Amino acid sequence: MEAAHTHDHAHGHDDHAHHPTGLMRWVTTTNHKDIGTLYLLFSLTMFFIGGLLAFGIRAELFQPGLQYWEPEFFNQLTTMHGLIMVFGAIMPAFVGFANWQIPMMIGAPDMAFARMNNWSFWLLPPAAILLVSSFFVPGGAPAAGWTIYAPLSTQMGPGMDLGIFALHIMGASSIMGSINIVTTILNMRAPGMTLMKMPLFVWTWLITAYLLIAVMPVLAGAITMVLTDRHFGTNFFNAAGGGDPVMFQHIFWFFGHPEVYIMILPAFGIVSQVIPAFARKPLFGYASMVYATSSIAILSFIVWAHHMFTTGMPAAGQLFFMFATMLIAVPTGVKVFNWIATMWKGSMTFETPMLFACGFLFVFSMGGFTGLVCAITPIDIQIQDTYYVVAHFHYVLVAGSLFAIFSGTYFWLPKWTGHMYSETLGKAHFWLSIVFFNITFFPMHFLGLAGMPRRIPDYAMQFTDFNMIASIGALGFGLAQLLFVAAIVKCARGGEKAPANPWEGADTLEWTLPSPAPYHSFVTPPVIK
């Protein structure tokens, strides 16, 4: 890899760049690193807004009775917590990683469509403002759950319209971002970097981007139909007019299930970079990881109705979707076994990125097991729409996606800022997060099994103690995230100077660049042998 040559060139170019400074730098930027930073900061902001709503939910559920909120506001809290975390926090965070890392990992100077990249980011803040401002319109924010099932969603006030517009805009942003990522990966790899030589993070994002392009228009269709049912006299989901409420669920989940993998595949990618780096050993089965990721993506299109077992589909439908869903355990298992085989007989150290990656493995896999339990139709009939499902998807989304985001952040912070982060802060963040995460969500399995429905503002007495434990855990988990902000701020402002490659076992292209990575990198592509 001819890295030294590239640096000189990049540096020279930097001196001649006349980009605006101050605020206009960020508004007009077409630089993938700036846009990556914008995405990550946006995501962090939304993460805290969504977290605040979660505090509201857990405060109300701390004890029986209605303490703080009216039931309708409680429903707004759960709905908006879900929408903000999914569309505002997790998805943009991964796009931020893609922006920063993909060009550097494939030896490209920038993203393929640099101006469109600016546009796809700057669509997000107005969408977020629309979404959050729905709290302040008459009738309040959307309160039909993040799944906005019709016909409940056709009953809501104007807040629902704001939510629908926000989702449309975010969807457009995602589609543009994905087209950009696919084009960049397929056309701008350094000479010699064949597809099967790409880092796994790039692979997982390539597949994710295809999933996004395939399903975001489906979501747009579903919510547009809700919009026209609400205002223009159509009856897509109104049985009295010849429509079908269950059709909404089919369309929504045809988007929704691939969406779940959109939020986890890039996480798999990050973990697949981190574990080999800290085990100082190559990934055990690179090719099988690529195939497993592709299988998961393909299977994700034929399992959607497992979210709908209780709608009352025919036995043949239940059987098909149960078998297809169970099949997903196979490629997911392959991935977990591969990560463990990578750790096996390595020479491991446990800096913060590795801690989060190991935490991810443990806790995400528990979410995988409960996912298998939910896949079994008869069991799902009992636990669908209970706290068991709430526990399940927080195990995969918080301990899965979010922990991978943390892991990736600590892993690449030295490259982004040029400083080492504080290990003390990072480790404290990890231990507090994993302990409080389990205190929050583990008892929810028991609640769900014992019969507590989700999305209720008040509950029967037998659910009291586990709810109290979960609420205490949630407070701890939320406060622990302040350490994350502290670690990032401290690292951005200064600290020990980071070398080009602070990690002994990391061997992808970005580590051949100096830290912080120059504003323009790989202007001349490196040659991969």
* 335 part of the active site: yes
Q: Alpha-carbon distance 88 to 170, whole Å? A: 8
**Counting contacts by CB under 8 A, is residue 233 touching another protein?**
no
Set 60, 259, 351, 380: catalytic member: 259
* For another protein, the closer CB: 116 or 329: 329
**Catalytic-residue membership of 146:** yes
Which range binds another protein by CB under 8 A, 60-68, 113-121, 127-135, 478-486?
60-68
Q: Is 301 left (phi over 0), alpha (psi -120 to 50) or beta?
A: alpha
The whole-angstrom separation of Cα 33 and Cα 108 is: 12
Nearer CB in complex with another protein: 12/158: 158
Catalytic residue selected from 29, 174, 293, 512: 174
Tell me, yes or no, if 454 is annotated catalytic: yes
**By the 8 A CB rule, do 216 and 207 touch?**
no
Amino acid at 313: M
Residues 371-390 that bind another protein (CB under 8 A): 372-373, 376-379, 381-382, 384-386
The DSSP code sequence of 32-65 is HHHHHHHHHHHHHHHHHHHHHHHHHHHHHTTSSS
Looking at residues 392 to 411 of the shown chain, list those that interact with another protein (rule: CB under 8 A): none
Query: Using CA of residue 296, residue 299, residue 304, residue 306, what is the dihedral sign?
Result: negative
307 is catalytic: yes
Per CB under 8 A, the list member of 349, 479, 489, 527 interacting with another protein is 349
114/376 with CB nearer another protein: 376
- Answer yes or no whether residue 476 interacts with another protein by CB under 8 A: no
Which 62-101 positions form the footprint of another protein (CB under 8 A)? Answer: 63-67, 70-72, 75
Calculate the alpha carbon distances from 234 to 219, 238, 240, 243 in Å.
18, 8, 11, 9
The interface with another protein within residues 122-151 (CB under 8 A) comprises: 138-139, 143-145, 149, 151
Angle between helices 464-493 and 32-60 (to 10 degrees): 150
Query: Token pair of 76, please?
Result: 């707004």
Annotation says 173 is catalytic: yes
Closest CB 161 distance from another protein, rounded Å: 12
What the block records as the tokens of 7 is 């640096």
Distance CA 424, CA 419 (A): 15
Taking CB under 8 A as the criterion, the residue among 27, 195, 460, 482 binding another protein is 460
**Active-site choice (454, 455, 458, 464):** 454
- Asked whether the beta carbons of 504 and 92 are under 8 A apart, the reply is no
Task: Assess 41 for contact with another protein (CB under 8 A).
Answer: no
Catalytic position from the list 189, 306, 415, 419:
306
Least distance to another protein from the beta carbon of 240, Å?
A: 6
Size of the site for another protein (CB under 8 A): 103
One of 16, 18, 314, 529 touching another protein (CB under 8 A): 314
Tokens 């909404």 correspond to 248
**Which residue in 311, 423, 424, 496 binds another protein (CB under 8 A)?**
311
**Among 307, 415, 445, 520, the one annotated catalytic:** 307
> Active-site residue 174, yes or no?
yes
- For another protein, the binding residues in 270-309 under the rule CB under 8 A are 279-288
Q: At what angle do helices 265-279 and 200-231 cross, to 10 degrees?
A: 160
C-alpha span between 34 and 24 (Å, rounded):
12
Site for another protein contains 195 (CB under 8 A): no
- The type of residue at 295 is S
**Contact present, 413 and 467 (Cβ < 8 Å):** no
| Nearest to another protein of 227, 322 (CB atom) | 322
Nearer to another protein, 8 or 504 (CB): 504
Q: Which of residues 414-433 bind another protein (CB under 8 A)?
A: 427, 431
Q: x/- string (CB under 8 A) for another protein, residues 237-256? A: -xxx---xxx----------
**The residue type at 506:** A
HEC letters along 435-456: HHHHHHHHHHHHHHHHCCECCC
Which whole-number Å values give the CA distances from 58 to 267, 323, 369, in the listed order?
Answer: 27, 35, 25
Which listed residue (3, 41, 213, 449) binds another protein by CB under 8 A?
449
* CA dist., res. 313 & res. 284, Å (int): 42
Task: Out of 81, 168, 189, 445, pick the active-site residue.
Answer: 81
User: Which positions are annotated as active-site residues?
Assistant: 81, 110, 146, 173-174, 257, 259, 261, 272, 306-307, 332, 335, 454
